[in-house]
Structure 1
């Protein structure tokens, strides 16, 4: 018996560390919102950091298991975001096609042990209420028992009222989700391209495990928006930066490393989770890959853009 134990000990030491390493979901399991914080199963504050995929109808090749694997193992993401396009020949026109892409990413994230944000990537979701309810009812029924899932039920509302338009919309989608999933986090878009989180602070949604979206592009949105963020945090509002860019609000222009790092410092200080926009090879500054790149090129620094190298280094560190 003694020799068997010694042999097993030697074998265990020879196994690679990866055999023992827990995935992010294995380590943290079911997430919850408490005050302004995202917390894990043990009540510890958790910060998720990762990448957002691009609009699903325009960059479909990255909606693959291989992308998820690389983002986890090479980029060291613990969360990723599937941005399912709604308008512009997206889900409203081709629901089965776009749903299949999103489910491919969800299935891969579950297999890899990552958290995955299921994003209704829309600017007019209040006009697509029934379609949104149907989509999230389906996703919550199919995946609601998986702690990996985070629902982002409205990407970026425009200049619309929080209390009269957005809160009623969110309330109905939350109700549809909670019929199947009573636990997983739901993130709600805020007015003005998900920047006016102060409006949500004045009139929050009286539901558990709900957070509020903050989006920024570092070269456009500077101290004024950071002040709004700190005000909301001080007021106890849970914030999730489901999308940010290193560039100006168009997604192009310069990569403003200085302003990006100021934002990172604030978010890291308050343990606010964030995903960078985006995993794409579109010819614009906020894409992480140069044009005509492949999924495998995510592992090659020479194929990364200025933004890609900056963000990847941040995630790896």
Structure 2
């Protein structure tokens, strides 16, 4: 009996370790039809958070913060938002950007979680993006942990322009990394996924298209648009979202957020919440007195941060 209990306890510990080590469990991700899948072709949902802009909240770009988000928040993926605007952005100061990005990626690899390298821009900058992602693919392409998000939120660009951009950037990535997932943005702040559904990219493997929502602003119409795109064969990844208004501030709509998450879970869509930062706005998850590294006690986690952490603990068992 004692031997049986020991075996059961060992199995429970192994399963729990796998649940908290998603890259060990899932391995090399792939896209099959509309679904993100593990290396064996089984459906996978990644759930996690995005760090704020690297050039505004660099203090959270450290190895221990990543460890906290994995161990305490049960994130299976984190997103590093490498800013292309405002002071000290990547284009103006690439050395500093890499000083922020490198420990995040290295820690994600060590912690066995996935990490999205996000070109956090609102404007097309094709040559700069090609150079950046070429470098990232050369450096990190051998790691199954890495996901490339090639354009955070297009604003004024047409889908025709974005297809051309994506074709060039993905082609550059695929010179050095033939397998890792690439996330492609769609027009109008990643909301016009219906345009993608009518005319998707051709000739590439393991690509998905991003939808961003802020639940207090974006409701049933965008959920229906997203579900319609999936029904038409489009693989969708929610690479940024919030329970607040689209401004990132204002009221928190927990009910609408729950509807969004339920839809994602039903359709097998991965989701990420914005953001680990200490800005004075509703969708910033931490207070300014929170440490840079964590662990973060409840008294330094804001209302929205507690909501997100609760969802992650609920779904990332």
| Residue aligning to 2:107 | 108
Unaligned runs of 5+ in 2: none
How many residues get paired? Answer: 308
Q: Which of 1 and 2 has greater Rg?
A: 1
Q: 3-state SS of the aligned residue for 1:295? A: coil
Instruction: Give the CA RMSD over aligned residues.
Output: 2.1
| Residue aligning to 1:3 | none
Q: 3-state SS of the aligned residue for 1:226? A: helix
Contact 1:84 / 1:102 at 8 angstroms: preserved in 2?
Answer: yes
2:32 aligned to which of 34, 40, 60: 34
| Partner Cα separation in structure 2 for residue 297 and residue 63 of structure 1 | 12
Contact 1:298 / 1:304 at 8 angstroms: preserved in 2?
Answer: no
Q: 3-state SS of the aligned residue for 1:21? A: helix
Residue 31 of structure 1 and its aligned partner are, at CA, apart by: 0.4
| Residue aligning to 1:300 | 297
Contact 2:215 / 2:260 at 8 angstroms: preserved in 1?
Answer: yes
| Residue aligning to 1:169 | 165
Contact 1:297 / 1:303 at 8 angstroms: preserved in 2?
Answer: no
| Residue aligning to 1:69 | 67
Contact 2:60 / 2:293 at 8 angstroms: preserved in 1?
Answer: no
Matched, 1:278 2:275: yes
Residue 147 of structure 1 and its aligned partner are, at CA, apart by: 0.3
Q: What aligned pairs does 1:137-286 form with structure 2 within 5 A after superposition?
A: 137-163=134-160, 165-206=161-202, 207-286=204-283
| Partner Cα separation in structure 2 for residue 71 and residue 18 of structure 1 | 20
Q: Residues 45, 135 of structure 1: CA spacing in aligned structure 2 closer, same or farther, 3 A cutoff?
A: same
Contact 1:24 / 1:114 at 8 angstroms: preserved in 2?
Answer: yes
| Partner Cα separation in structure 1 for residue 17 and residue 223 of structure 2 | 36
Contact 1:281 / 1:289 at 8 angstroms: preserved in 2?
Answer: yes
TM-score, scaled relative to structure 2: 0.93
Contact 1:289 / 1:298 at 8 angstroms: preserved in 2?
Answer: no
Matched, 1:135 2:132: yes
Matched, 1:93 2:92: yes
Q: Residues 210, 94 of structure 1: CA spacing in aligned structure 2 closer, same or farther, 3 A cutoff?
A: same
| Residue aligning to 1:21 | 17
Residue 303 of structure 1 and its aligned partner are, at CA, apart by: 1.1
Contact 1:123 / 1:155 at 8 angstroms: preserved in 2?
Answer: yes
Structure 1 runs (4+) deviating above 6 angstroms are none
Residue 298 of structure 1 and its aligned partner are, at CA, apart by: 4.9
Contact 2:64 / 2:294 at 8 angstroms: preserved in 1?
Answer: no
Q: 3-state SS of the aligned residue for 2:17? A: coil
1:315 aligned to which of 300, 307, 312: 312
| Residue aligning to 1:50 | 48
Contact 2:36 / 2:45 at 8 angstroms: preserved in 1?
Answer: yes
| Partner Cα separation in structure 1 for residue 294 and residue 280 of structure 2 | 15
1:179-220 Cα shifts (integer Å, max 9, x gaps): 000000000010000111111111111111110010000000
TM-score, scaled relative to structure 1: 0.93
